[in-house]
Amino acid sequence: MLTNLIFCLNATIPLFLLLVLGMLFTTCHIFDQAFIAKLNTFVFQVALPVLVFYDLCREDFFTLWDSRFVLFCFIATALSIALTIAISYLLPDKNTQGEFIQSAYRSSAAILGIALIQNLYGNSGMAPLMIIGSVPLYNIMAVVVLAVYQPKVTDAVPSAHGQIAAAKKGFLVSAGKGILKNPILWGVFLGLFWALFRLPMPQILDRTLENIGRLATPLGLLSMGAAFDIKKALKSAKSAGLAAFIKLVGLGLIFVPIAVFMGFTGDKLVSILIMCCSSTTVSCYVMAKNTGHEGTLTSSVVMLTTCFLAFTLTGWLFVLKTLGLL
């Protein structure tokens, strides 16, 4: 298990250091607010959609397909979202509901899931099917949640897309347009379409998309760290801690035993574990900032889950390995 601990540390500590570097660059005036805003816009409108498309378009779904496994991932994700929505109504600050819900259920499933399973089994295993069952629903519901649970207009951060102003009149129309225009959802749909029809990918285009997609995580982490306000974060410490607990431990306590009961083991069980108990993805912050939310709670949850993931995930793997399930 020491090897797994070292692997998890190698996967998570560099991400946490990028957050710290973003904070440092702002402190040293290398980044200013105008640059951070542009960086957020680029990651949201270009890098993240390309990353999602690139991850999905290359998968051979017909060879790996397991309807029972995909359905479990979909239902577990849907129930996770419903559970976090219910818990969010207990928060004292209702302006943070949207951020709390998204950061408490949404995992860094695609990147971390494939990397961890390759490390354990030598290939991506069932991670692509887990991505199909959970990631599109992650993204679709993130757009819906952030649109429905927008902060009050008087307390909101100005949105690059003007959704807060539009919410004063015709909220449902505005939210619907926001969902349809969301570039990350277009990345999901186009990626699934490309893979379903097995469209060819020229090497030049493949390399270009790969390079753009690689920018999403580091630039997103830098911009999140640069915009992080520790004073505001301390005010939402309880909510951030609760969301981090739900993400790293709580959902796993519910759905991992159910998965074991249903007979999922090996790479399928690891995929479900990653889906339920990995760190909150950095794209949560980018989406929150670009849909009128402050982003402080989200960045706090990403920091907490990224920092503690190596220890919680290693604990999960140790228990499952001891029980002979991996």
Q: Tell me the mean pLDDT in the region 100-105.
A: 94
Per-residue pLDDT band for 86 (boundaries 50, 70, 90) equals: very high
314 Cβ contact partners less than 8 Å away, ≥ 6 residues apart:
1, 4, 5, 8
Q: How far is it, in rounded angstroms, from Cα 273 to Cα 276?
A: 5
pLDDT in the model for residue 123:
55
Q: pLDDT tens digit string along 107-124?
A: 877 655 655 665 666 555
Q: How far is it, in rounded angstroms, from Cα 217 to Cα 98?
A: 22
> Under the phi-then-psi rule, with left for phi > 0, alpha for psi from -120 to 50, and beta for the rest, what region is 174?
alpha
Q: Tell me the mean pLDDT in the region 254-268.
A: 93
* Contact call for residues 191 and 57 (beta carbons, < 8 A): yes
136-162 in b/e form (b: 16+ CB < 10 A) is: bbbbbbbbbbbbebbbeeeebbebbbe
Per-residue pLDDT band for 157 (boundaries 50, 70, 90) equals: very low
pLDDT in the model for residue 116:
62
pLDDT over 60 at 316, yes or no: yes
Which range, of 132-136, 159-163, 225-229, 313-317, averages the lowest pLDDT? 159-163
Q: pLDDT tens digit string along 202-227?
A: 999 999 999 998 888 788 888 878 87
Give me the chain's average pLDDT, please: 81
More confident residue, 292 or 260: 260
HSE-up (13 A, CA, CB side) for residue 12: 26
Q: How far is it, in rounded angstroms, from Cα 308 to Cα 315?
A: 11
74 Cβ contact partners less than 8 Å away, ≥ 6 residues apart:
133, 134, 137
**CATH number of the domain at 2-322, please?**
1.20.1530.20
Picking from 144, 98, 81, the residue whose alpha carbon sits closest to that of residue 288 is 98
Q: How many CB atoms lie within 10 A of CB 111?
A: 20
- Domain borders along the chain are 2-322
Per-residue pLDDT band for 73 (boundaries 50, 70, 90) equals: very high
State the DSSP code for 95: G
